[in-house]
Amino acid sequence: MSLPADHSISRRDLMAGSMATVVAGATPLATATAATGSAPPTAGTPAAGTEPITVEVTFEVNGQSHDLVLDTRTTLLDALREHLHLTGTKKGCDHGQCGACTVMLDGRRINSCLSLAVMHDGAQVTTIEGLGQPGHLHPMQAAFIAHDGYQCGYCTSGQICSAVAVLAEIKAGIPSHVTTDLQAPMQPTNMEMRERMSGNICRCGAYSNIAEAMAELAERAA
């Protein structure tokens, strides 16, 4: 397991460490490596037990390739947060209802909580960390700051990933529930932004400012 680059102990690391102490001594992982080459990858053997079954997974996150050995149950979200320590992507409801876990998978936004990491062997994932960093923000990150598109910030990385994808979806001609004419070019209207962002919940209610941030970028791109 790799540590964050600066090795400093954050509140999160301290809590994770305490948890590990509590569960130490639990059943060791039953490792069964996936077959390689042309054979179909099969993790483990059909078993009725309750022991975890692990599998090797390789995917690219923010341009960097990662080889992981994961419990088959590991969601893409947990792989990002718990194994790669990319904690910008948040776990909200963990059931695909809130959008806090939104990332780009092979260029499309998805709920990373409702997808197994093992299903994405060979995939390319972009998280909020890969969109931009302090000092070289993605224009959507800068627009969220300029328009005050958040309050507590917990949903923000999901909102920004979704917002970037929404503008791309409108450009690609993907229709939405509020698109009136399916044969006309899609327009980045306020109603379109609101409808298309409905899978990202914000308890603080920053919606109108998020829509303004998106509108600014849509206008700039037009």
* Positions in the binding site for another protein (CB under 8 A): 32, 40-53, 55, 71-73, 75, 94-96, 99, 102, 108-111, 114-116, 118-119, 162, 165-166, 169, 172-177, 179, 182-183, 194-200
Type of residue numbered 108: R
Residue 50 or 64: which CB sits closer to another protein?
A: 50
Cβ proximity to another protein: between 13 and 114 the closer is 114
Smallest distance, another protein to C-beta of residue 118, A: 6
Whichever of 49 and 135 has its CB closer to another protein, that residue is 49
CB of 17 to another protein, least distance (A): 24
CB of 105 to another protein, least distance (A): 8
Alpha-carbon distance 143 to 118, whole Å? Answer: 35
Distances (CA, A) of 211 to 123, 149, 159, 217: 30, 8, 10, 10
Least Å distance, CB 208 to another protein, is: 15
Rounded CA-CA distance 116/79 in Å is 9
CB-wise, 139 or 199, nearer to another protein?
Answer: 199
Residue 124: C-alpha distances to residues 30, 35, 69, 104, 179 (Å): 28, 21, 17, 8, 30
AA identity, residue 68? L
The token pair that represents 221 in the structure block: 């791109």
- Which is nearer to another protein, 8 or 50 (by Cβ)? 50
Between CA 203 and CA 205 the distance in angstroms is 5
As measured in angstroms, the least distance from the Cβ of 185 to another protein is 12
**Tokens linked to 81:** 């947060």
Q: Quick one: which of 126, 148, 157 has its CA closest to 216?
A: 148
